[in-house]
Chains A and B, each alone.
Chain A
Amino acid sequence: MSLETIVGNIKIRNPLILASGVLGSSYSVLQRIYEAGIGAVVTKSVGPVSREGNPNPSIFALKDINGAINSIGLANPGYKHFRDEIKILLENNVQTIVSIFGGDVEEFNEVLVGLSDLSITAFELNLSCPNTEKEGMVLGTDPQIVRRIVENLRKKTESPIWVKLTPNVTDILEIADAAIKGGCDALVAINTLKAMVIDIYSRHPILGFKRGGLSGSPIKPVGIRNIFDLYEQFGEKIPLVGVGGIAKWEDVFEYILAGASAVQIGTALGIAHPENKIRHIKNNIQKFMKNEGIEKIANIIGGAHR
């Protein structure tokens, strides 16, 4: 029995990957999480130049629903600065997927080319951040732009390209189709759902940016549905990485049965001991596979399509 899974042509030691945007601001925290036994890590999204992001509050928990809302707004040091941190990770054999963003085709090119000499496990394109005025959402909701960006980047790197999809569209399959035609190696779904919280006493939206994205348990059924739909449409044509609301080992299998080859965990790790949670989930993945007689992850991908 093996926990190993394969996304495109990348072998990952187990199907649990750290999602972008959480515990991903520095090489040291990424390394810490990788050493706890997670399959691979995705960095916080890096763009062409440094950004402070949106004013605070830009992220807080929604305990009642076991979720969180954020509008961090792509705060990042810029790829030139972050390059050194990525290098440390790669030197220490941390399987590192680098999330990148840009405001247009040229900016995406600049960031990817600026990092393409490093042997990065994969690039994850953040085409779907809902928390900025210009970047992200506009790009990720237009199939023609998505295709153009992916096509362009495809020519510039040997590293696999994963495309992270937003659920905030009428038809996710149309965007997915454009990304596949552009030449991507995997699809990652879903990013956060458009959301907002208003304080009834001060009558202010709480987030500094007013609007934000919802993550955590409440979005899990949305993620499952999207992965199920994507798998039904594209089958084995494109590997899928499921993300959204994973907090327990059961959630991992739910996503895999919907069609994911691997999953990403984020919000659930905003706790005192993320290492313990990772170990707990991993141990239980193993236990369940043993009990159910599952030899390898690949045997059950898309298993709920019957």
Chain B
Amino acid sequence: MSKKITSFDSQPTMGKIIRIEDECEDTKNFFVEMPKKIEGVKAGQFVMLWIPGVDEYPIGVAGFKDEVLELGIAKMGAGTEALFSKQIGERVGIRGFYGKPYKPLENVNHLLLGGGFGMTPLKLLINTLKSRNRGDKIHVFEGARTKNKLMYLDFLQNLHDKEEIKFHVCTDDGSWGYKGFPTIALEEVLQEDSRQSVIYVAGPERMMKVVFEIGKKYPNVKDMQMSLADRYMRCGFGLCSACTVDPTGWRICIDGPVFNKEQLEQITDFGEYIRLATGEKKRI
């Protein structure tokens, strides 16, 4: 008798890679067919991805539709290299869905800002916001070193052309969009449109801290929700505490990874210190 699967949050549930797309330089989208559709994955949640015999690490979910999980993954380290060498038909293990998601507010402008693979959870958030269809303005700010490093460029440009979102894109070297950081366009929007806004961010923590400080200057910023998923995690479900932040003792994996403005104010580690696999604190 086969058991009914109601979640993937026990030992890894094996899924089959059914499609691999090149996304941008050193980044691919992996589509993993799971044995069952599990309802309720929310933007900002993550899975622990197991490459059998190699490694396991947290990955933000970009989508989950018709039993197919979409993961956008940048090559960095042995674990992701091993994934990149996988062929269609090979299996990987999934644990999840873990963590607290973004909680979009009502009747506000939604300002989504991402860098690097931080775009992954934001892709799902964009789709969530679009499906709510409330007529709220959605701005997406993306920045990268160079054009080849921009994730979901076609997807976002297409939504922009259809006027479903307003896409603000930039690169450090000016090879695409304007030259500079995404915070420039973010501040422009905050200055031009006095409507209440919520800023949603994912990406490198130093960048998030900068956005956080900027956001605090604007009274029309109602909330800021940022994902600290770019930190070392082990268990993913709140048991081991390898990912705790000081001084609150919150576990990124289950009390986060998405924290709101009020919470971020209390996390003195935010943008300052991470914990290594050993538990040692290290300045970011």
Per the bound structure, the CA–CA distance linking A56 and B275 in Å amounts to 16
The stretch among A57-65, A179-187, A237-245 that forms the contact with chain B is: A57-65
By a CB distance below 8 angstroms, the chain B residues around A305 are none
A24-B241, A28-B245, A72-B240 known; A199+B12 contact, CB < 8 A: yes
Point out which of B3, B91, B236 has the most chain A C-beta atoms below 10 A from its C-beta.
Answer: B236
Please pick, from B11, B236, B249, B278, the residue contacting A32 in the complex, using a CB distance under 8 A. B249
A52-B278, A204-B52, A270-B237 known; A61+B10 contact, CB < 8 A: yes
B278 touches A60 (CB 8 A): no
Per the bound structure, the CA–CA distance linking A201 and B12 in Å amounts to 11
Chain B residues touching A, majority SS? loop
Per the bound structure, the CA–CA distance linking A269 and B56 in Å amounts to 22
Per the bound structure, the CA–CA distance linking A216 and B275 in Å amounts to 27
Smallest distance from the beta carbon of A75 to chain B beta carbons, Å?
6
Scan residues 55-97 of chain A and give those whose CB is less than 8 A from a CB of chain B.
Answer: 55-64, 68-70, 72, 75-78, 81-82
Per the bound structure, the CA–CA distance linking A32 and B48 in Å amounts to 26
A77-B280, A201-B14, A208-B56 known; A28+B242 contact, CB < 8 A: no
By a CB distance below 8 angstroms, the chain A residues around B53 are 202, 204
Per the bound structure, the CA–CA distance linking A77 and B56 in Å amounts to 21
B11 touches A25 (CB 8 A): no
A50 touches B280 (CB 8 A): yes
By a CB distance below 8 angstroms, the chain B residues around A22 are 239-241
By a CB distance below 8 angstroms, the chain B residues around A31 are 249
Chain A, residue nearest B254 (CB): A272
By a CB distance below 8 angstroms, the chain B residues around A204 are 52-53
A28-B248, A32-B248, A201-B14 known; A60+B95 contact, CB < 8 A: yes
Report if B197 contacts A (CB, 8 A): no
A56 touches B56 (CB 8 A): yes
B278 touches A76 (CB 8 A): yes
A23 touches B241 (CB 8 A): yes
Per the bound structure, the CA–CA distance linking A201 and B16 in Å amounts to 10
| B interface size (C-beta, 8 A) | 43
B240 touches A25 (CB 8 A): yes
Per the bound structure, the CA–CA distance linking A76 and B278 in Å amounts to 5
Report if A206 contacts B (CB, 8 A): yes
A30-B249, A202-B93 known; A57+B12 contact, CB < 8 A: yes
By a CB distance below 8 angstroms, the chain A residues around B106 are none
Point out which of A30, A58, A269 has the most chain B C-beta atoms below 10 A from its C-beta.
Answer: A58
| A interface size (C-beta, 8 A) | 51
Per the bound structure, the CA–CA distance linking A151 and B52 in Å amounts to 44
Point out which of B239, B245, B277, B278 has the most chain A C-beta atoms below 10 A from its C-beta.
Answer: B239
Per the bound structure, the CA–CA distance linking A51 and B276 in Å amounts to 10
By a CB distance below 8 angstroms, the chain A residues around B7 are 63
B52 touches A68 (CB 8 A): no
Chain B, residue nearest A25 (CB): B241
By a CB distance below 8 angstroms, the chain A residues around B259 are none
Report if A271 contacts B (CB, 8 A): yes
A206 touches B235 (CB 8 A): no
Chain B 38-65, CB within 8 Å of chain A: the 1/0 string? Answer: 0000000000101011011100000000
Smallest distance from the beta carbon of B28 to chain A beta carbons, Å?
20
By a CB distance below 8 angstroms, the chain A residues around B276 are 52, 77
Point out which of A28, A69, A201, A204 has the most chain B C-beta atoms below 10 A from its C-beta.
Answer: A28
Per the bound structure, the CA–CA distance linking A50 and B254 in Å amounts to 26
A59 touches B10 (CB 8 A): no
Chain A 12-39, CB within 8 Å of chain B: the 1/0 string? Answer: 0000000001111111111111000000
By a CB distance below 8 angstroms, the chain A residues around B56 are 56-57, 208
Scan residues 176-191 of chain B and give those whose CB is less than 8 A from a CB of chain A.
Answer: none
A75 touches B278 (CB 8 A): yes
Report if B279 contacts A (CB, 8 A): yes
Chain B 242-253, CB within 8 Å of chain A: the 1/0 string? Answer: 101111111100
Please pick, from B93, B246, B275, the residue contacting A206 in the complex, using a CB distance under 8 A. B93
> Can you name 21 A-B pairs with beta carbons within 8 Å?
A22-B241, A25-B275, A25-B279, A27-B246, A28-B244, A28-B249, A29-B244, A56-B55, A59-B234, A60-B235, A61-B11, A62-B10, A63-B7, A75-B242, A76-B278, A199-B93, A201-B14, A202-B93, A206-B50, A206-B52, A270-B240
B-side interface residues toward A, CB under 8 Å?
3, 7, 9-12, 14, 48, 50, 52-53, 55-57, 91, 93, 95, 234-242, 244-251, 254-255, 275-281
Q: Closest 7 CB pairs between A and B?
A: A270-B239, A32-B249, A63-B10, A28-B249, A202-B52, A29-B249, A204-B52
